[in-house]
Every structure is written in C-alpha cells, then in structure tokens.
Amino acid sequence: MTEPIFELNDIVVTVNHGTPEQINIMDHINLSIYPGDFITILGSNGAGKSTLFNVIGGNIPITTGQILLHGKDITNMSVERRTRFLSRVFQDPKMGTAPRMTVAENLLLSEKRGQYRGFGSRHLKAHMAKFKDITSVMNNGLEDRLNTATGKLSGGQRQALSFLMATIKRPEILLLDEHTAALDPQTSQELMQATNDQITRNHLTCLMITHHLDDALKYGNRLVVLDHGKITYDIAGDEKDNLTKEELLSFFNDLDD
C-alpha cells in the first residue's frame, strides 16, 4: 500500500463555542488521500462538504485534530503556504478569476501559485504560445480571447479558465467545489468531461464536491458521503464501480430516517 499524500486525523471543528447553539460542524473526521485518488464527495446542504474543503485549505481553524502532508504536521500552516501543494476551483465563476485582468494575465498569475513573486518582469509575451496551447484543450474558444478581460467571458469560459488556472502548475491536491453547478446543463457536462480528461491524463489527485449522483458515480475511483459533519460512507475501487444509483439513493434515504 502506498503512503497517503494527505491525512486528516480526528478533525473536530466546533462553532458557537459555549453557547446553546454549540455544534460540531466537523465531527471526528478521518480521511486519508492517496496519490491518484479522484474522490467524489456527496452530502446534503449543511453536511460539511464546504467545511471539509476549508479545513484542507486552512481557511478555517480546526478545534482539535491533526492535518498531515506526506506524514508531516501542517495543522497550523497558513492559507498562503498551503497553496504550494493545493489548488481550488470555486462554485461561483466570479470567485476564481480576476475580472479586470485578461485571460493571459490570470493564467500567468496562477502559474506562480504558492511561489515567490518579486520585482522580476512578468514576461507575458513569452508565455502567449504556451497559453494558447493550454486553453485550446477546453474547446470553448478561450484560446482566441487571451487578451480579453475575464469579466467579459461567459460563465462557462470563466469556469474553464478557473480550472486551467488550478491545474497549470500541477497541484498535489486539487479541490473542485461544485465547479460546474452554476453552468447550464450542456456547458456543465462539457466542463465535467474536460475536467475528467485532464485529471485522468495527468494523474491528478482530486476531491470533487458534487450534487449530481450520476456524476459522483460516473467519475472518480472513490466516493465519500458526508452527513452532519461525519463521513458516513467511503468506498473505492471495484466496490464503487459496481455501485448503482438505486443503492446510493436508498443509502441517502436511510440517512434521513
């Protein structure tokens, strides 16, 4: 068995401490992420899906528990430092790109994710050919709009760009936070297909939150279900491949009882 890249050990996040509303929004979570894992994450609203991503990204402090990267404790590492190994695509197309900067400028920014940014010239022109290649794989005309401000792109193009920005510098872990949810069904399917192609081709390690049971079954090698801040279901490999939508649905119905 290979070593996990990333481990969450007994993570608890408590909010409203000392008040009657005190609640554990992460309740003793244990999760080990292995190289090449493509984990789809399901859960109803308030189950703790976004909290899980915020814990991994360092955006919210944990109450107790330990976070390990390659076996090293990074529990108190800042958000900025974690971007060296982590990248993220948000649900809202407006969140992932700088609207007044051009597509090429955004890509250039993301190419230095987690790295030192100094007084060296950015050398935008030298990157244009490479950016054209990278954007053309999305098949949505992005490659012809490299000098357009991203605020003028369609939602689909912006999300495709966000995805490219998250993967242009290979992340050790990629977090996709319902990144196709804000798009129309057609565009959503196209982006999901392109996402899957990129992840499989480049053997990326990825966690993807989704609301689509079909997507959760179709993509990835592992499926995790969250409920009330707990992991209630975690299957991988053949077991996941053989899972049917009916079984998954019945499982969700059990949760409600």
Partner 1 sequence: MSIIVSAIGQGLTWGIVGIGLFLTFRILDFPDMTVEGTFPMGAAACVAAIYSGASPLVATLIAFIAGMLAGLVTGLLYTKVKIPVLLAGILVMTAAYSVNLRIMGRANLSLFGKPTMLRNHFLESLPPYFDSVVLGIVVVAIVTALIIYFLQTNLGQAFIATGDNPTMARSLGISTDAMQIMGLGVSNGLIGLGGALVAQNNGFADVNMGIGVIVVALASIIIGEVVFGDLTMNQRLIAVTIGSILYRFVILLVLKLGFNANDLNLISAIVLAIFMMLPVLENRFRIRHTLAKGMTKHD
Give residues in contact with partner 1 (CB under 8 A): 57, 79-81, 83-84, 87-88, 90, 94-101, 105, 108-110, 112-115, 117-122, 124, 165
Structure tokens at 254: 């059990």
Q: Are 16 and 23 in contact (CB under 8 A)?
A: yes
- Decide whether 12 or 109 has the Cβ nearer to partner 1: 109
The angle at the Cα of 180, spanning 173 to 38, to the nearest 5 degrees, equals 30
To partner 1, the closest distance from the beta carbon of 97 in angstroms equals: 6
- Decide whether 127 or 132 has the Cβ nearer to partner 1: 127
Cα 162 to Cα 52: distance, rounded to the nearest angstrom: 20
Give me the sign of the Cα torsion angle 47, 49, 52, 58: negative
- Decide whether 23 or 101 has the Cβ nearer to partner 1: 101
To partner 1, the closest distance from the beta carbon of 3 in angstroms equals: 25
Radius of gyration of the chain (CA): 19
To partner 1, the closest distance from the beta carbon of 105 in angstroms equals: 7
39: left (phi over 0), alpha (psi -120 to 50) or beta: beta
To partner 1, the closest distance from the beta carbon of 237 in angstroms equals: 31
- Decide whether 109 or 236 has the Cβ nearer to partner 1: 109
To partner 1, the closest distance from the beta carbon of 122 in angstroms equals: 5
- Decide whether 110 or 195 has the Cβ nearer to partner 1: 110
Cα 151 to Cα 97: distance, rounded to the nearest angstrom: 8
Angle between helices 128-136 and 155-167 (to 10 degrees): 110
